[in-house]
Amino acid sequence: MARTAGRPPRSSAEIQKFRSKIGKHALEIYRAEGFGAVSMRRLAKEVGCAPMTIYAHFEGKTDILKYLWADVLRDMSNDIEKKLKSVVGPRERLRSATQTFVDYWIDHPDHFRLVFMSNDVTREDVSTFIMHDDTLAHFRMFSSLIKEVHPEEHDVKMRTDTLISGMIGIALCANTILDYPWADATSMTEQLLTSIIA
């Protein structure tokens, strides 16, 4: 059987590398001009390929946004996991994870805006992403850490949801209401945590 000419299929590693390249350019455009400036045509120009090549790797602009959200959340979780490697004791582990979560979003305000404040996204797109197991795992880690502190606790969800919403709220205020003289974010996070594990 004669072999047809043409480019051999890309390996999964090559596909991931190219998706990462597209994501990197999308994030650069987002940082400079906002997500409204990100388009498949512009990305193709930045990456140096035809627009159809971009569509071969992403269904559309929202798919790229979901890819960026996942990448940022993975980066945040990796920061927490690195810190937890050197921390012993359930309370200390929860405290370290909580402070690292808040610090990450304050230290990366563009990531915060991308994940929590993206425009041009439907509620359905957000719900699909948020309810995906990979996304939920980033937040379930706090349930596990709270269970370590309170193994007998039955309503871990209430404590976890309160902690997560409080941490996001602290980061939101620090990133968006810059003129108000907020108390130190570390102290506010500690106060929040004290109420959760009391």
Thinking of the domain 62-197, which architecture would CATH place it in? Orthogonal Bundle (1.10)
* Cα dihedral sign, 157-137-60-64: positive
Q: Is 184 left (phi over 0), alpha (psi -120 to 50) or beta?
A: beta
Neighbouring C-alpha atoms within 13 Å toward the C-beta of 4: 4
- CATH 1.10.10 location in the chain: 10-58
Going from the C-alpha of 65 to that of each of 40, 130, 132, the distances in angstroms are 12, 13, 15
Q: The whole model's pTM is what?
A: 0.85
Q: pLDDT at position 1, please?
A: 45
- Which residue do the tokens 């309370």 mark? 91
Confidence of residue 4 (pLDDT cuts 50, 70, 90): very low
Confidence of residue 7 (pLDDT cuts 50, 70, 90): low
Residue 194 has pLDDT above 90, yes or no: yes
SS3 string of the chain?
CCCCCCCCCCCHHHHHHHHHHHHHHHHHHHHHHCHHHCCHHHHHHHHCCCHHHHHHHCCCHHHHHHHHHHHHHHHHHHHHHHHHCCCCCHHHHHHHHHHHHHHHHHHCHHHHHHHHCCCCCCHHHHHHHHCCHHHHHHHHHHHHHHHHHCCCCCCHHHHHHHHHHHHHHHHHHHHHCCCCCCCCHHHHHHHHHHHHHC
Token pair in block for residue 146:
């709270």
Residue 190 has pLDDT above 70, yes or no: yes
- CATH 1.10.357.10 location in the chain: 62-197
CATH node for 10-58: 1.10.10
